[in-house]
Amino acid sequence: MRAKKMRLVTVLAASLALALSGCGREGGPGGGGEPQVQQDVAQNVQVAGSPTFDRMKQKDRVVIGVKEDQPGLGFRDPVTNQYSGFDIEIARLIAAQLGFDPNTKIEYKPIPSTAREQAISTGEVDYYVGTYTINDKRKEQVGFAGPYYMAGQDLLVRSDNTDITGKESLKGKKVCSATGSTPIQKVKSEQLTEPQNIVEFQRYSECVQQLLDGQIDAVTTDDAILKGYAAQDPDKLKVVGKTFSEEPYGVGLSREDNALRAKVNDILEQAATSGEWKRVYDATLGKSGSTAEPPKVDRY
């Protein structure tokens, strides 16, 4: 009787744990609820001359801009509200090295591609980690530490598609991407398809839904993002796998805050040499079997 009761308790506890960890059918690779990488919190950190750091200290927390719908990179589990992915781990690593406990002192703010510059420059977020390509145009408005990862623009199509084989095969096809992103910019500037065939949303997940529904023919953005969607629906979606740009991911921060930029660059360099970067990569993007090296930090 007692043993039976114990067993029942165990089964209930196990299913509760499974539900809470999001390991059910919806879980998927990077689909939320993954155990996060443990970080040691640095003590007595000083960042002399950084207004952003002073602000973080004053409110005793870090507000980090992220994506919430990009599995494997920046994803919010709708059930547990827990964030997971490579970008989230990079954001946590930086917070810990700035002296803030990533488990208790981070507030995540989902910000879509098109609203990033404003969120950073108005101080709505202290820094931003979300598949954010470093480029000169954006540097007019924000600062960038990094890069901490190199991605490339690619295409996501339905798995039964055979005629979309690369960027040259998009004419006459309906192509979707996110407003304010570098990939949508490329579709337009290189006229990869006709203006009436370009579909734009705030979030890539909306494009993916349209692709699954047969409303559009391809989603274009960084390969790392597309692989995350394909892994969630491997029977229905595939990544073409021919990248046609370089997208160095940076940590977005206030353009004026050179002290914080230098400090985050130090943190990223140290993470690369200590093996911490690899630990974070292996726990997220690397789980699919792909490999990568940390890129060289560019202190402009």
Site for ligand GLU, rule CB under 6 A:
113, 130-133, 178, 181-183, 221-222, 247
- Between helix 276-283 and helix 258-274 the angle, nearest 10°, is 80
Q: Which is nearer to ligand GLU, 69 or 217 (CB)?
A: 69
Measured CA to CA, the distance from residue 36 to residue 103 in angstroms comes to: 9
Closest CA to 280 of 288, 271, 289: 271
* CA-to-CA separations, 207 to 24, 60, 243, in angstroms, rounded: 24, 37, 19
Q: Which is nearer to ligand GLU, 22 or 112 (CB)?
A: 112
Helix (H, G, I), strand (E, B) or coil at 265: helix
Write down the least CB distance from residue 127 to ligand GLU, Å: 15
Write down the least CB distance from residue 154 to ligand GLU, Å: 11
Measured CA to CA, the distance from residue 286 to residue 31 in angstroms comes to: 14
Q: Which is nearer to ligand GLU, 217 or 247 (CB)?
A: 247
Side-chain half-sphere of 49: how many Cα atoms within 13 Å?
7
Write down the least CB distance from residue 252 to ligand GLU, Å: 9
Q: Which is nearer to ligand GLU, 68 or 100 (CB)?
A: 68
Q: Which is nearer to ligand GLU, 80 or 135 (CB)?
A: 135
Alpha helices of the chain — where are they, by DSSP H? 2-21, 51-59, 86-97, 116-121, 136-139, 182-189, 204-212, 223-232, 258-274, 276-283
Query: Which region, left, alpha or beta, applies to residue 278 given φ > 0 means left and ψ of -120 to 50 means alpha?
Result: alpha
Write down the least CB distance from residue 255 to ligand GLU, Å: 17
Write down the least CB distance from residue 274 to ligand GLU, Å: 26
Write down the least CB distance from residue 130 to ligand GLU, Å: 6
Write down the least CB distance from residue 221 to ligand GLU, Å: 5
Structure tokens at 14: 């196990």
* Residue 233 DSSP code: S
Q: Which is nearer to ligand GLU, 39 or 254 (CB)?
A: 254
Q: 146-177: string of b/e by CB count within 10 Å (b at 16+)? A: bbbbbbebbbbbbeebeebeebebbeebbbbb
* CA-to-CA separations, 140 to 119, 130, 135, in angstroms, rounded: 15, 19, 9
Q: Which is nearer to ligand GLU, 53 or 249 (CB)?
A: 249
Measured CA to CA, the distance from residue 37 to residue 226 in angstroms comes to: 23
Q: Which is nearer to ligand GLU, 131 or 193 (CB)?
A: 131
Measured CA to CA, the distance from residue 172 to residue 274 in angstroms comes to: 49
Write down the least CB distance from residue 70 to ligand GLU, Å: 8
